[in-house]
Amino acid sequence: MKSLSKIIGERIKNFRHREGLNQEQLAERCGLHATYIGQLERGEKNATLESIEKVVKGLNISFETLFEKIQIGEFKSNIASQCYSLIDALNEKEQAAIHELIQKIIAYKNV
């Protein structure tokens, strides 16, 4: 079972990658130190609400987006939730391609 700080850290990293930023660039946007961004991404630090606010602004996302569909504990092992996390890390074009592929697989299965 992953801790909440690790889940949030993975999300921050995924959104950072989606923006095409390295840790230093995100840190500069946020007014935080790059080492701190790395610690957040690895789940080594529990961020304050103020830090999270800076990060979401730096990533051009909302609090709701960062925390969307997070499930803690026994529900985290849910396959659909794991798929969501994988797909959520992709850009919109890649997400659309995965969506189309899933639709084709389901259609083929139903033939």
Q: CA 109 to CA 111: how far, in whole Å? A: 6
CA distances from residue 48 to 40, 45, 101 in whole angstroms, order as listed: 10, 9, 39
Q: Could you give the maximum distance between any two Cα atoms of the chain, in Å?
A: 55
Q: What is the pLDDT of residue 79?
A: 78
Q: What is the pLDDT of residue 76?
A: 47
Domains of the chain listed by start with CATH number: 4-109 (1.10.260.40)
Instruction: Tell me which residue has tokens 């103020």.
Output: 50
Close Cβ partners of 44 (under 8 Å, ≥ 6 residues apart):
5, 9
Q: What is the pLDDT of residue 70?
A: 78
Residue pair 12/66 in contact by the 8 Å Cβ criterion: yes
Q: Give pLDDT tens digits for 4-41.
A: 888 899 999 999 999 999 999 999 999 999 999 999 99
Return the percent helix, strand and coil in the chain, to nearest 5.
70, 0, 30
Residue pair 61/32 in contact by the 8 Å Cβ criterion: no
Reported pTM: 0.69
Residue pair 10/76 in contact by the 8 Å Cβ criterion: no
Q: Can you tell me the mean pLDDT for 59-76?
A: 79
